[in-house]
Amino acid sequence: MARSNSYHVCVVGLGSMGMGAARSCIAAGLQTFGSDLNPVAREALAGAGAVAVDADARGFADRLDAVLLLVVNAAQCKAVLFGEDALAARLRPGTAVMVSATISAADAKEIAVGLAEHGLLMLDAPVSGGAAKAAAGEMTVMAAGSREAFDKLRPVLDAVAGKVYEIGEEIGLGATVKIIHQLLAGVHIAAGAEAMALAARAGIPLDTMYEVVTNAAGNSWMFENRMKHVVDGDYTPKSAVDIFVKDLRLVTETALSLGFPLPLASTAYTMFANASNAGYGKEDDAAVIKTFAGIQLPGVKEK
């Protein structure tokens, strides 16, 4: 077990990514606090060795050197920092806030302005890698911010990241890189679902199709990870359909602001939106395959 030190960090949002990041901070010896509305998640982190957990972080805000925000969207980031519970007002000046939700560049800039009014540092630092990489302390971080913010958050970055890409100083650059990354991720899932749906229609066993693709040139990380859920008939959400509805909306809105066409991303957004409207929004994002008619999928009852 890593030797503890005097650096205090709070992870806000203890979902699959946040829980892994918090456990990685504990493993690295950081004095780790946790905040989440879910009492089960709070209890789990307390059992893993957190100094303290609570539904909000105000009670220990004045002890923190850093905050890592791993909530779902910009609205949640703003609610945590500036809403009714107003964490930003409780943090000591000079505290660094690492905003790792997938949000727009405009929202990142707005949050940075609000934090600066309280004398707080911000790192615009979305992450990728999924629950497994988060648990292993090997997330990929795409970050933008001042050198002071990077330096203040170095213990956290060392604890949670396998790779840290320093995109630049301008807030919003990190958010934009993550949005472009999500374009690829969403299109890959949608294309993988389409391919596996076609295989099902053709009567090809999906486990065979999966083995062929994952050992051939058509493979991608997202196909290999998400289409295994289809083969197993397991749509327990690691990342839900509604997450990609949100992320691909950010992709298309970014493109619209730049006057740039994105035909594949637009189609993928429509596929995920259709899946959400069909009632699959809270299921794993691989459930986008369920919108294809005329096929039988493992573990899915015919309607």
Over the stretch 197-248, which tens digit does the pLDDT of each residue have? 999 999 999 999 999 999 999 999 999 999 999 999 999 998 999 999 999 9
CATH number of 8-169: 3.40.50.720
Q: Which residue has the tokens 């395959």?
A: 289
User: Measured in whole angstroms, how far is the alpha carbon of residue 28 from the centre of its chain?
Assistant: 21
Q: What is the pLDDT of residue 238?
A: 87
Distances (CA, A) of 294 to 116, 202, 231, 289, 291: 55, 11, 17, 12, 10
Phi, psi of 29 (to 5 degrees): 90, 10
- Looking at residues 106-133, what average pLDDT do you find? 96
Q: What is the pLDDT of residue 124?
A: 98
- Looking at residues 295-303, what average pLDDT do you find? 85
Left if phi > 0, otherwise alpha if psi is -120 to 50, otherwise beta: which for 247? alpha
Distances (CA, A) of 260 to 54, 107, 183: 44, 20, 13
Q: Are 52 and 45 in contact (CB under 8 A)?
A: no
Q: What is the pLDDT of residue 85?
A: 83
Instruction: Using a pLDDT cut of 90, give the percent of the chain over it.
Output: 95
Residues in the chain, total: 303
- Looking at residues 256-271, what average pLDDT do you find? 97
CATH topology of domain 176-291: N-(1-d-carboxylethyl)-l-norvaline Dehydrogenase; domain 2 (1.10.1040)
Measured distance CA(32)–CA(19) in Å, rounded:
11
Identical fold between 8-169 and 176-291: no
Residues 6+ apart with CB under 8 A from 230: 193, 196, 206, 210, 286, 289, 297, 298
pLDDT per residue over 272-285, tens digit each? 999 999 999 999 99
**Which residue type sits at 201?**
R
Give 11 or 2, the one with higher predicted confidence: 11
* pLDDT band per the 50, 70, 90 thresholds, residue 302: low
pLDDT per residue over 9-38, tens digit each? 999 999 989 999 999 999 999 999 999 999
Phi, psi of 191 (to 5 degrees): -65, -40
Q: What is the pLDDT of residue 301?
A: 79
Residue 1 has pLDDT above 60, yes or no: no
**Which residue type sits at 229?**
H
Give 4 or 77, the one with higher predicted confidence: 77
Residues 6+ apart with CB under 8 A from 81: 69, 87, 88, 97, 111, 114, 115
Residue 4 has pLDDT above 70, yes or no: no
- Looking at residues 50-71, what average pLDDT do you find? 97
Which amino acids are annotated catalytic?
A: 178
User: What is the residue extent of each domain of the chain?
Assistant: 8-169, 176-291
Phi, psi of 186 (to 5 degrees): -65, -40
The 3-state DSSP class for residue 119 equals: coil
How many Cα atoms within 13 Å fall on the side-chain side of residue 79?
13
Rounded to 10 degrees, the C-alpha dihedral 157/162/165/170 comes to -30
